[in-house]
Amino acid sequence: MRKLWLVGCVVFGVATSGCAKDVTKDMEALADRACACKDAKCATAVIDDLVTLADKNKSARGDEDRAKKAAERIGMCAVQAGVDLQTLQSKLDKLGN
C-alpha cells in the first residue's frame, strides 16, 4: 500500500506552474469506479486509467489527503475485485518511469 501513497504524491505533487490541473475529483472518481468493479478485468482497467491520469498530469495539484485516501481505496477495491498484488505492483511501477 506504500506504493499507492506514492501514487497520490505523484498525481498531487506541488505544481511548478500556475496552470496545473487539480485532479482530486478525477482520483476520487477512479476510486469509485474501482470499488464498483466485480472482477479483476474491470479493476485492472481502472488502474490503467490511474497510470494514464498520472502520466498526463505530471504537474498536477490537489488535496493530498483526499488523494491518499482515493489511492488507498483504488488499491483495496482492486484487490477485492481480484487483482493480485503482483499485477497491481507492476502497473504502479510504471508511474516511476
At 75 the pLDDT is: 94
pLDDT of residue 58: 82
Given this model, what pLDDT does residue 94 score? 78
Domain locations in the chain? Answer: 2-15+23-96
Cα-based torsion angle of the residue sequence 96, 60, 45, 92 in order, rounded to the nearest 10 degrees: 20
Q: How would you write the pLDDT of the chain (97 residues) with one tens digit per residue?
A: 555 545 555 554 433 334 457 889 999 999 999 999 999 999 999 999 999 998 888 887 788 899 889 999 999 999 999 999 999 999 888 776 5
Residue 60 pLDDT: 77
Looking at the whole model, is its pTM more than 0.85? no
Question: In this structure, are residues 47 and 91 in contact, taking their beta carbons and an 8 Å threshold?
Answer: yes
